[in-house]
Structure 1
């Protein structure tokens, strides 16, 4: 990982939620995971502990890691080791998002959401 200096005099970030990160500086790796069950009902009746992640296959399925078979050769020339940005404005980051000022070797981000709509029958 190439180490550089990031200069950002002004950052305005309004909201971070659900496994989101605002990282200042370098990191070796970032691992983000977010799980949610979103229920939308026509008649708003909610019962405590009514949904379990284990009840839905989406939360236990294995996400395959892509196999990269192509050989990629890269060359980086950092004549100036400083990244300078005047300002960053972010409205919001949610569900395994990252705003980083710096370098990272690897990032793994996963967000799994089960949406359920329950409508009244005619």
Structure 2
């Protein structure tokens, strides 16, 4: 893992939600996860048991992970051992987002959203 220090004078984060992470300091693994099922209806009707994620393939299909076959040779030369920042202002972090000050080895972030809109037909109005 890259060994550099991060110096930040001021951090302001207004809102963090939906499986998001604010990480100050080094980490090995970050894996925020957010799943959402949003139903919009013209008429307020509730059928009892609703919101089963397993009913929708978007939540059950395995994510395709990229495979890297090429070897990448990289040379790093950090002129200074620290990263200096005066101010950071973040309005919002959402849907498995990450705000991270520091170093990390592995990040895997996932957000799956299913939007359903149930509009009345002309016969139902």
User: How many residues are treated as equivalent by the alignment?
Assistant: 122
Paired position in structure 2 for 1:89? 89
- C-alpha RMSD of matched pairs (Å): 1.2
**Greater Rg over alpha carbons, structure:** 2
SS at match of 2:54: helix
Write out aligned runs for 1:1-122 (5 A).
Answer: 1-122=1-122
Q: Which has the higher strand share?
A: 1
Cα distance between partner residues in 1 of 2:28 and 2:39: 37
C-alpha separation between the residues in 2 aligned to 1:47 and 1:8? Answer: 51
How far apart, in 2, do the equivalents of 1:48 and 1:99 lie? 38
With normalisation by structure 2, the TM-score equals: 0.92
- Helix, strand or coil for the counterpart of 1:86? strand
d(CA) in 2 for partners of 1:7, 1:13: 17
SS of 1:16's equivalent in the other structure is coil
Q: Secondary structure at the match of 2:77?
A: coil
Change (3 A) 1:15 1:46: farther
